[in-house]
Amino acid sequence: MNAEQICTLLGTVERVVRIIQRGQVYEFLYTADTTGKDAAGSLQTSLVSLYKAAIELLAGSDTVFSKGTARQILHAIVCPKQAEGIVADLFKAEQTLAFDVQACEGMRGDRAGNRMDSRVDDLKMILCQLDPLLTRMDTGVANLLQKLKAADHDRLLDFISPVAFRDVLDTVKRKRTPGTGDWLLADESFQEWERIPSSSTLLFLEGNSGTGKTYLTSKVIDHVDKQLKTSQHHEGFAYFYCQKGPSFMDPCVVLRSFVRQLSCVANDLENIQTEVVQQCALAKRNGASGLSYETCIDLILKSINLYPKTTIILDAFDESDSSTDNLVEILIQIMDTSKKPVKIFVSSRTGREVKKLIENKSTIIINVKNYVDIEKLLDAEVYSKDWFKDLPEHHQSETSRTFASRSQGNPLVSLQVNRLKRHAARGSIMDILKSLPTDLTESYDLSYKEIKERGGTDLALAERALKWVSCTYQALEVNTLLEAVRLAPQGMDFEGVTRQKLLMLCEDFLTIDEQRQVWELSHISVGEYFDSKHWGVQAADLLVAQASLTLLIDTYATVDIRTPLEAAGYTDSEFDSDDDSEFTSYGNSELDSNDHSELNYDVDPDHNSSEPDEQEDPLTQRVYDIITMLTLPLQMYSNHHWPMHVRRYEEGIRPGSEVDAELSHLLKRFLGSPGDSSLQYRRWLDHIHISGQWPRTPSLRTNSIQNLEPTTNALFSMCQFGFYHLLVDWWTEDSFNDAAKTCTDNGYTALALAVMGGAQPIWERLTQRVDVNSPWTMLHMAAAGARVDELVGGKYGNALVAGTVEAPLEFVQWLVEEAHASSNLLPERSDYGSPLAAAALKGRLDVVRYLVQAGTEVNAVLRAGEYGSALSAAADTDNVEGVRYLIEQGAEPNLLLPGDYGSALAYAAHDGRVGNMEELIHAGANVNLRLRVGCIGSALAAAAQNFNGGEATEYLIRNGADVNQELEAGEYGSALIASICNPFLPSTAIVLLEAKAIPTAVLKTGSYASALAAAAFWGHVDLLKHMVGLGTPNAALETLRQSRPPPSTDIPEYFGLALICHQGFQPARSRFKLWFRT
């Protein structure tokens, strides 16, 4: 019996042993006494059938394995869904048993008593450990992880997602009454969701607003986290709370947080996936402020497929912004396409939209039953208190009856309890009980009425505080809000504002998180109440925008950070906060003696903000005073977020309505004019650039700052942030004509910024003055003194490409139909190459369809970018439908292309996108097409080079790929060499060798003359020995004698010196020489 047959036999024996062990547990757990005769009898029948199938497989193993089918049998055991014959019979018997087990568990839960609980838990733990589909993470997974230096590790994670997702959980846990939520963990549906770890299932917890879903979600998170800490398996785990507030409602923010959490194994945060590191480095090199929506989904899927099981928990889905991307829809798509099991838990208010999304899916629905939790809350906050125990007995009884009849959720109960405490001492307890509100709206009405009755400054102070807290992008520290509510266009007012006074005025609406020392709405429904009944988000943004601009105008009228620094001898180059480190500009360091951590600012570590010594000269003290002033929390928040509040106010303006005259005046005063900015605007931008402090909310990342410079041109901010309605008289004048002909230091025109900003009225104005088909209207810019050498670069190439990447479909339609942008104009410089390729790469199928229907050539060979054609760009995504559509519209799958890989099939193969490969091969793609350009040479070589390319490599071989084809282009010469040239040896090399790839073949092309030479150079000792063993030592030596000098200069550039030293490339070559001599 050979090694292959022995391996298959061991796999079969292990499978049979597991089946027998599980069967023994089932027989003890589910008996006629615990489940009933019918259920137990059906289980026994299924067990007998399973035992029979297992014994037949084992008994016939000698005959079956000897027929050369050992590998197929082993593959079927590992991947039973693809099985045939006797293995398929075994798999079907297991499925039948699984259904009977579910039925027995349901019966047992109804019949079993408490005396069995501990033994049942032990048995269930045994079943989990025996699950044949829940395998532990192997050494191959460990090779996909890498350990970074502590500082680089933290910077990288913050670049992926700066959101402190743990803070919300800690806050909710502190507020959660002990013992609440236990009913959910004991619920039969929840246990069913957990029970079978090898299947993907979505659990949907629904309930009305105020029923305690967030507290229940925190209970589930604690439960899963506790299990993972004691688990022997390496699993993925991620969770997120969608909160009312801009930074927590964006679906991309949620997805980035999931990427961050899943990039590390649960309970092992030191090691991070190598591919995540590479994608972040690529995003930063491309000038992005974070990972794109498409990249996030791709990395989440790859993480899920890496772990044996993944759990994802999402609270308050209904609070996320579903206008562009629906989070539940995304999660269901991930669940449907993942190759490994993923358990998804989603809580949301009851709604048809969610139910429509989850129908016909593997979904379990639980309705909130919080009456037990309410009783525990009342016991902790009322019934156990001395003031309640001192009441007469009939008052206690009446209080209990009132709460029982009027309590519809935890927030309402809390409000009722607070009202009872406040008024019990001032009046009859019976009168208070009769007036207790019966729902949240009635309770809020009553509380707000009490505030309005106070009138005057108390009312204005309370409303300002509520508006600030409800609309800011980051939670404000206690003292920061006390300063913020005093800001007004007329100057500071409301002397003597204290936290006690604000808490007293807004007791039912605002609270302080005592651990983080920040203000919060007492419940999410508070924001909804004021939005719907009193003022909307626009009114809150109006207040914050006015206050922020007022502060900036006053501050920068007297403070200029450059003046003392220039006097001290600093140069412009020293002002620059950039650094060669991959993630330095996203680092985290102490700002100064004040703790502003809640504001979530990243600070360049090179900036020193320590307090000066007493003997320092006056100039140093002046610098310190300026920095201290500019790093006050309210100043920092206003610096970075005023554009976002102004923009959101603009978005709420309806056609024909008037804008706020005060805000319009403040904005004009701060900006100056489109082509000649104000002193305050220039100083503000200088400070943002020099300070090295960047917000972690999506406002002014470093790449955006470069888009706004030079500081003399305020038009760039007007376009980037979409300021139109407040400045409408400027846009109707000719004052911006000259400014529109210049470009930013990054090479972007005002039109390009307007496209990226998505401001259609500004597009319409600008296109009346510039040619939308020109890359950057270079002649006009050159005449204005612009730096033409920078203009010819750029990320997009023209306005339409930018629109297909950044803007809604309506903007793309407007550009083509109204502004006459050409969809067939191919830019000479562009990251994307064409509008159609950009839309295909971003997975925007609606835009792809529109462009094709508008007459775009689907087979255009691109002059710029990475891909060469729109079909290649689509093939490099997970959008199979996009690939299929382009093929249906005439896209040629065998088109030889410029670019990194040379064909659409090679692009699909390189990323292991088997679904796209199937579509292309079905449409006639030649699996052995020799590529003329690029770095890879063939589709098989592209698949083989990928660390996770085993499935794609096998698929191409099954479809006729020649494993010994000598390649004409690229640096490898053959697919086998492509699989070897990697410091982390992919499994694809073994796949190719098993398919009869010849390691001793001497090749004329590529950097290595043979696979043996490549393995020797890259230090793969075991592989080299294996390949030599496939032939004779003499043949191997003869092959190596014909080797060419290896390309040693390539490695330091691509992998870095540290990795080379770790792998030991040079010592490896010495060992091989010695080994062959002996």
Beta-sheet strands, E only, within 802-866: none
Residue 807 host element (H or E): none
> Residue 206: what pLDDT?
82
Which of helix, strand or coil describes residue 937?
A: coil
> Residue 845: what pLDDT?
92
Q: Where are the alpha helices (DSSP H) in 520-590?
A: 524-533, 537-558, 562-567, 572-575
Q: Which CATH number does 935-1078 carry?
A: 1.25.40.20
The token pair that represents 1031 in the structure block? 């032939």
User: Cβ–Cβ contacts within 10 Å for residue 584, how many?
Assistant: 18
Give me the residue label for tokens 């005449």: 783
Q: How many whole angstroms separate alpha carbon 353 and alpha carbon 125?
A: 37
Strands 145-147, 271-273: pairing is antiparallel
> Residue 838: what pLDDT?
93
Q: How far is CA 218 from CA 251, 316, 321, 366, 603, in A?
A: 20, 12, 22, 16, 31
Contact 949, 955 (CB under 8 A): no
Residues 6+ apart with CB under 8 A from 931: 896, 901, 902, 903, 906, 937, 938, 967, 968, 969, 970
Q: What CATH number matches the domain at 147-368, 3.40.50.300, 2.160.20.10, 3.40.50.2300, 3.30.70.1290?
A: 3.40.50.300
Q: Find the helix packing angle between 371-378 and 410-424, rounded to 10°.
A: 20
Q: Which 8-state DSSP code applies to residue 601?
A: E
Surface-to-core class of residue 1005, CB atoms within 10 Å of its CB (0-12 exposed, 13-18 middle, 19+ buried): middle
- What's the topology of domain 455-535? Arc Repressor Mutant, subunit A (1.10.10)
Topology agreement, domain 147-368 and domain 935-1078: no
Bridge-partner residues for 344, per DSSP?
Answer: 202, 312
> Residue 110: what pLDDT?
56
Torsion-angle region of 912 (φ positive above 0: left; ψ -120 to 50: alpha; else: beta): left
> Residue 1068: what pLDDT?
42
Q: How many whole angstroms separate alpha carbon 678 and alpha carbon 671?
A: 6
Q: How many whole angstroms separate alpha carbon 1013 and alpha carbon 1031?
A: 15
> Residue 602: what pLDDT?
47
Which has the closest alpha carbon to 883: 908, 850, 852?
908
Q: Would you list the domain boundaries of the chain? A: 3-132, 147-368, 373-438, 455-535, 557-688, 935-1078
Contact 265, 236 (CB under 8 A): yes
Contact 164, 97 (CB under 8 A): no
> Residue 747: what pLDDT?
74
pLDDT averaged over 10-residue windows placed end to end, the chain, 1078 residues: 55 70 76 79 85 76 51 47 59 75 68 49 54 41 55 81 80 78 84 76 79 84 87 81 62 89 74 82 73 88 88 80 66 86 85 58 60 64 72 73 60 68 62 71 86 89 93 90 89 82 89 86 83 86 95 91 66 50 32 40 44 58 75 89 92 87 96 94 88 59 68 91 92 78 79 76 75 46 31 63 80 84 87 92 92 95 90 90 94 87 91 92 94 86 83 93 91 91 76 92 89 88 88 86 66 36 40 40
